[in-house]
Amino acid sequence: MYRMKKATVSLLIFVMALFLLVGCNSNTNGKTEEASGGKKDGKIVVGFSQIGAESGWRTAETKSIKETLGNSPDFELKFSDAQQKQENQIKAIRNFIAQKVDVIALAPVVETGWESILKKAKDAKIPVILLDRGIKVNDESLYTSFIGSDFILEGENAAKELINLIGADKKANIVELQGTVGASAANDRKTGFANGLKDNPNFKIIKSQSGDFTRTKGKEVMEAFLKSDGKNIDAVYAHNDDMAIGAIQAIEEYGLKPGEDIKVVSIDGIKDAFEAAVQGKTNIIVECNPLLGPQLAQAVKDLKAGKEIPSWIKTEESVFVGKDAAEEALPSRKY
């Protein structure tokens, strides 16, 4: 009887311990994956608020951060997926501050609305590094550095290469698939493309709408463009490859040939886009590098070592035009 009681008590203690352990690892913010708060073995604790998983590019970025920081003995990574919602990102940052992380990395879904939460991080003396997308704040000291691409330049390159492909003296009606409304990647790529066309009155954007950086939405919006403008469309400019792939499907279902009847230009450089280019279904890929893990790790290390880090850490990128360029690059594509 006494032995039975002892066994029951031990079981109870074991279950309670397990319960506590699981409790520590969960978080109030949707899909947060993280260990318990506080520093562990002198590791640098980085809280990363990611936008979600809307595109192949985003998935590659998440993988790069998890592989670099998550697998390193120097870091402890706390990862939070905001599922496209700014409110979830704000909640995640609040949690990171409460847990006293060393550095916060933020891929901001939209450009505005960050002042108040970033002020809290600043007051808590936690540096914030922006990843891949920028923000608009009056006080630039609210973040330490931005790691990512020049989205305006990407848009300008997309326009330049499209003009080269079609011919500056030819007329071209273009439809534009914009990224997420309010995102710097969408705003700047739109501005850059318009800059690139402004000196050529032959090239006109006849329709422009958000496809939210997703394949499904890209296809839906392209279907609507085809319905209203059909054979008047000469080219589609998509702010990312996923929307371009959706558009390619819509063009084929409409009975036209993507890459021939309607030229396709998009930004990112995911493998699927290179495969489409090899098949002649897309024409121009402007690369935007999502493999930011190593740059983030270095920046965080430098910061913690008391070094000054650049306010903009730019990524290196190329442009691929035509089948041959895609065929040559495809085997070595990393995302």
Contact set with ligand AHR (CB under 6 A): 54-55, 57-58, 132-133, 185, 213, 240, 242, 267-268, 288
Q: Which of residues 32 and 187 has its CB atom nearest to ligand AHR in the complex?
A: 187
Q: How far is the CB of 204 from ligand AHR (least distance, A)?
A: 24
Yes or no: say if 269 and 286 are a contact pair by the CB < 8 Å rule.
Answer: yes
Q: Which of residues 90 and 107 has its CB atom nearest to ligand AHR in the complex?
A: 107
- Which residues are bridge partners to 313 per DSSP? 147
Q: Which of residues 44 and 267 has its CB atom nearest to ligand AHR in the complex?
A: 267
Q: How far is the CB of 306 from ligand AHR (least distance, A)?
A: 30
The two tokens of residue 158 are: 């997309």
CA atoms within 13 A on the CB side of 295: 22
Yes or no: say if 46 and 75 are a contact pair by the CB < 8 Å rule.
Answer: yes
Position 8, amino acid = T
Quick one: 41 exposed, middle or buried, by C-beta within 10 A (0-12, 13-18, 19+)? exposed
Q: How far is the CB of 203 from ligand AHR (least distance, A)?
A: 22
3-state SS track over 59-93 = HHHHHHHHHHHHCCCCEEEEEEECCCCHHHHHHHH
Q: Which of residues 46 and 288 has its CB atom nearest to ligand AHR in the complex?
A: 288
Q: How far is the CB of 170 from ligand AHR (least distance, A)?
A: 28
Cα 66 to Cα 80, 178, 188, distances in angstroms: 11, 28, 27
Q: How far is the CB of 171 from ligand AHR (least distance, A)?
A: 29
Q: Which of residues 144 and 214 has its CB atom nearest to ligand AHR in the complex?
A: 214
Q: How far is the CB of 281 from ligand AHR (least distance, A)?
A: 18
What CA–CA distance (Å, rounded) separates 135 from 235? 30
Q: Which of residues 44 and 162 has its CB atom nearest to ligand AHR in the complex?
A: 162
User: H/E element holding 104?
Assistant: strand 103-106
